[in-house]
Structure 1
């Protein structure tokens, strides 16, 4: 084992790396009409720009234990960050819909590699603070989405959409350099446990994470187009998504600060799922009159649900190796579930010229989440999930 990074270094790296894991998707919604005009994208293809990265996250996350054995955490995260930087940079020169969609897939691979290995890195270096550090990591993820969504339309008006999408490579390169300098030097890679295919508990966590993340990807992809079709400008819709993701960041920070007070995670889970249901109800019934309430409920609900889902999963791992394999399994299958939501919503919009039915379907999923959350008893009350 080589140098171990300090807790302060891990805090900084968790935030810096996390910030770069969503701009490749979050900047698409506010620019979708512009991309459709210039590249001839259909609503289905527009949905793919969010669905493909999430699908790649799922497929490559399942390879997490293999990546842990082959690359280790430090080298693996560095490779993932390099892929994200390259995918963003190439968008500066994209002139076709197929090239734009391909860059989304490459970026999704990079995101998946990082999300598979970062929990193991956190668990190995500072296991006693793993919940707090995972909360900061997911807060960084949502913070990056907020910045990307808010500046996308104004930047495209001044620089064009190519440069707007391309300059996301700059913070990715900064994070890569910081990671290489501060992540430590691990010579002996942790032994990775096998994926827990036979564990009912792992499957429960997978479905829970997938449905919850589906709400995140659906709103990320289609909230701006939804309000644009209601008469808002692209800039205003982008600011709205930015406000939503800032609310998510606040929720993530609250989770990081308060989660240690709730050894039983079911109570905060129930609260944030009810907020999500309330936000979706606002979108379905009175999206223009209840915009502020919808954004508040959705932001707090989604922003807290995402880190809580990962923290609950991490709670069921006894070691860094188990953390990596369980998170790989849960994120792998979960992101495949979540990947379906933006493209299904795109098909719904193509068919019915409205997204109201998409919000209704997600509302049903949120009700299911509420029921599943009751089954997520703390680790101290049951056996740790069995590994395959």
Structure 2
């Protein structure tokens, strides 16, 4: 059942941050370990891409069924289960020394992440109200910071522990986050398990064009994030840079992303109209990918920093803009899940496409170009996301609900 006593805000914020820190390391650590995984497990570029694609695809499928997950597990219980599953899946990698074990653990990691990402935005809106945008930005900061830590420590940990233990080591922080979450969320407001049929509360979001534009926007932004995380290090190793330098470039990218997202968590209140930030982020992402094509070795740290700033704004803002469209926490959570579901499925194809192109052409320039074009194309959508359009969206949705929904 839903509880009405608010928890200590700082502890709940810390719990959300700890959860978010564990949502990307199991994926981000793959890139710096590609050589060892390829050699020891016999996995080629497409297979390596699947280790990123499978979790992201699972995130998309989990988001699509967010309403049913909320109904079956409740928000607090579902988030707990998702975090625990990440811990178990990471621990499994101690024995995942072939492609089948790696693919299975990737699917379980993705499922755990999917459950958390499907339920946490609605939980945040329910508990933080007017501060939702700032907390979502902090949550996104944790995601990119976790990616930075996962990628930045992978090579060093591999030298100390081996690549299997490096991947498995993320089970410990995931387990700690699970325990802390259980304690910190005791007095939180959350939607519990429900016997009401999910279909009775479903909303046909797909009937409104704005839903699809937000879905596409989130997919491109997340695809850029996943692509950079998976292939920046291998790209620069292929250009002749050492493993340590290539890993450092990825670390710079993810640290810049994290710092930018952290800045956004404090500054987002000064931008009620998000379009200026959206346009800036898209231009920076396009410029970063283009620089990787025309002059990757001229100023590599500048190129990855451009990507870091652009993605650091774009990734959290694509969630925030979706949340802006609705006020009801459960409805906003389901809507965000719809946007993330389709968006993650789109994003899952990006690293897979990169791996396929690399196997065929031995070159990643084609995927950099495709992402540059896609980012510039998103400018057409971004200019339409005005605060006034949120009101029109709510009106369209209310009319649609009145005509389409069955009575509860």
TM-score w.r.t. structure 2 length? Answer: 0.92
How many residue pairs align between the two structures? 388
1:7 equivalent to 2:9? Answer yes
1:256 equivalent to 2:281? Answer no
| Match in the other structure for 1:129 | 131
> Partners of 1:111 and 1:187 in 2: how far apart?
19
Aligned pairs for 1:200-349 (under 5 A) are 200-349=209-358
> Partners of 1:370 and 1:149 in 2: how far apart?
30
Taking structure 1 as reference, are residues 311 and 49 closer, same or farther at Cα in structure 2, changes over 3 Å only? same
Aligned pairs for 1:51-200 (under 5 A) are 51-185=53-187, 189=192, 193-195=201-203, 196-200=205-209
Secondary structure, aligned partner of 2:343:
helix
CA contact (8 A) 2:227 2:350 kept: yes
| Match in the other structure for 1:375 | 384
Spell out, residue by residue over 1:184-225, the C-alpha distance to the aligned partner (whole angstroms, 9 max, x if none). 256852887524121211111101100111111111111110
Q: Give the unaligned 5+ runs of structure 2.
A: none
> Partners of 2:140 and 2:226 in 1: how far apart?
14
Secondary structure, aligned partner of 2:207:
coil
Spell out, residue by residue over 1:345-378, the C-alpha distance to the aligned partner (whole angstroms, 9 max, x if none). 0000000001011100111110111111011111
Q: 1:8 Cα deviation (Å)?
A: 1.3
> Partners of 2:330 and 2:227 in 1: how far apart?
31
CA contact (8 A) 2:20 2:139 kept: yes
Q: Give the unaligned 5+ runs of structure 1.
A: none
Spell out, residue by residue over 1:147-199, the C-alpha distance to the aligned partner (whole angstroms, 9 max, x if none). 01011011111210011000100100110000110112568528875241212
CA contact (8 A) 2:84 2:178 kept: yes
CA contact (8 A) 1:315 1:379 kept: no
Q: 1:236 Cα deviation (Å)?
A: 2.2
Secondary structure, aligned partner of 1:173:
helix
Backbone CA RMSD of aligned residues = 1.5
CA contact (8 A) 1:62 1:332 kept: yes
> Partners of 1:194 and 1:238 in 2: how far apart?
45
Q: 1:13 Cα deviation (Å)?
A: 1.5
> Partners of 1:119 and 1:284 in 2: how far apart?
36
Secondary structure, aligned partner of 1:245:
helix
CA contact (8 A) 1:243 1:295 kept: yes
CA contact (8 A) 2:66 2:119 kept: yes
Deviates more, 1:126-135 or 1:188-197: 188-197
> Partners of 2:112 and 2:245 in 1: how far apart?
30
CA contact (8 A) 1:279 1:295 kept: yes
CA contact (8 A) 2:21 2:143 kept: yes
Spell out, residue by residue over 1:103-126, the C-alpha distance to the aligned partner (whole angstroms, 9 max, x if none). 011100110100010001101111
After TM superposition, what 4+ stretches of structure 1 lie above 6 angstroms from structure 2?
none
CA contact (8 A) 1:15 1:136 kept: yes
Taking structure 1 as reference, are residues 95 and 295 closer, same or farther at Cα in structure 2, changes over 3 Å only? same
CA contact (8 A) 1:91 1:103 kept: yes
> Partners of 2:385 and 2:202 in 1: how far apart?
22
Taking structure 1 as reference, are residues 113 and 187 closer, same or farther at Cα in structure 2, changes over 3 Å only? closer
